[in-house]
């Protein structure tokens, strides 16, 4: 499991929040959930929002990072913060709403994971999930290329980073046997980033984490320089000095039959 840095992650908070809010508005208005789980809740922003939206519900926020959960625990809302791996998640009671924003792409085997999640839902319960389509995005292919070429290659071989997603049809096939409605869509956001090497700074908050954990301290600066050089041609600065980061995300909203 990579370490997480809540402050670095929240540096681009507005951009990282927007897909979560785009997902939340697709949760049916009439849903009156009693049990809500936010899987991979991070610093707890959306679990807190769900608690405010459904004050009668028991809201659980689960994450495997103690650093992210420490930040979440500072929130005033009455939320059950759970330190655990989504892969081992086995709630005691049927769940009315499973929410997961930008977390499940860190787990593999989605053909089995998604039916397992749907099985935890109560009848009529909702699975609402958003995942970055990271694996094939240039900032990730160039990261893997950088990791494979250089004196750090041995240390970075076999890093447990983000996983490739299924094609959207794969999520339909995984969920349709258990769910009455399966709604799938992708959106590509065009993030306008400021400053020096903003794609590296963005990645330091997410996809770079396991690489930074594994590379030796003396190799960290040359590794990041090599990554920066590869990114420069893929993400040129615009005339006004900003850098555009196209970011595709896959959304899944399914209702248990």
Strands 121-132 and 243-256: antiparallel
Among 23, 33, 45, 54, binds ligand SAM (CB under 6 A): 45
Nearer to ligand SAM, 18 or 176 (CB): 18
Min dist. Cβ of residue 107 to ligand SAM (A): 5
Identify the CA nearest to 86 among candidates 117, 126, 128: 117
Min dist. Cβ of residue 181 to ligand SAM (A): 23
Select the span of 96-104, 152-160, 193-201, 243-251 touching ligand SAM (CB under 6 A): 96-104
Interface with ligand SAM, residue 109, by CB under 6 A: no
Interface with ligand SAM, residue 207, by CB under 6 A: no
Nearer to ligand SAM, 13 or 136 (CB): 13
Interface with ligand SAM, residue 68, by CB under 6 A: yes
Question: What is the dihedral angle through the alpha carbons of 8, 12, 18, 24, rounded to the nearest 10 degrees?
Answer: 20
Min dist. Cβ of residue 9 to ligand SAM (A): 6
Specify the residue for token string 């995984």.
174
Q: How far apart are CA 142 and CA 234, in angstroms?
A: 9
Interface with ligand SAM, residue 4, by CB under 6 A: yes
CB 98 within 8 A of CB 130: no
- Per-residue tokens: 131: 């995942």
Identify the CA nearest to 133 among candidates 63, 189, 72: 189
Interface with ligand SAM, residue 102, by CB under 6 A: yes
Interface with ligand SAM, residue 106, by CB under 6 A: yes
Can you say whether the dihedral through the CA atoms of 61, 65, 68, 71 is positive or negative?
Answer: positive
Interface with ligand SAM, residue 87, by CB under 6 A: yes
- Angle among Cα 188, 87, 39 to the nearest 5 degrees reads 50
**Residues near ligand SAM, by CB under 6 A:** 4, 16, 20, 40-42, 45-46, 63-65, 68, 85-87, 101-103, 106-107, 206
């Amino acid at each position: 499991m990579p370490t997480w840095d809540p402050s670095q992650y929240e540096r681009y908070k507005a951009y990282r929040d927007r897909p979560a809010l785009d997902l939340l508005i697709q949760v049916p208005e009439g849903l009156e959930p009693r049990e809500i789980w936010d899987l991979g809740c991070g610093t707890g922003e959306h679990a807190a929002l769900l608690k405010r939206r459904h004050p009668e519900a028991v809201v659980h926020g689960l994450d495997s990072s103690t650093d992210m959960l420490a930040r979440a625990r500072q929130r005033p809302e009455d939320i059950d913060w759970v330190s655990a791996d989504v892969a081992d998640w086995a709630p005691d009671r049927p769940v009315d709403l499973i929410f997961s924003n930008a977390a499940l792409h860190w787990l593999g085997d989605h053909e089995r994971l998604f039916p397992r999640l749907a099985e935890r839902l109560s009848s009529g319960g909702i699975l609402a999930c958003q995942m970055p389509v990271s694996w094939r995005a240039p900032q990730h292919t160039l990261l893997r290329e950088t990791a494979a070429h250089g004196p750090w290659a041995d240390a970075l071989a076999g890093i447990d980073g983000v996983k490739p997603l299924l094609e959207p049809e794969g999520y339909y096939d995984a969920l349709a046997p258990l769910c009455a409605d399966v709604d799938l869509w992708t959106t590509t956001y065009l993030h306008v980033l400021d400053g020096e090497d903003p794609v590296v700074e963005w990645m330091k908050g997410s996809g770079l984490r396991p690489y930074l954990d594994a590379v030796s301290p003396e190799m960290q600066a040359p590794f990041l320089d090599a990554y920066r050089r590869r990114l420069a041609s893929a993400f040129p600065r615009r005339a006004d000095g900003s850098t555009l980061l196209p970011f595709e995300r896959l959304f899944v909203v399914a209702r248990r039959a």
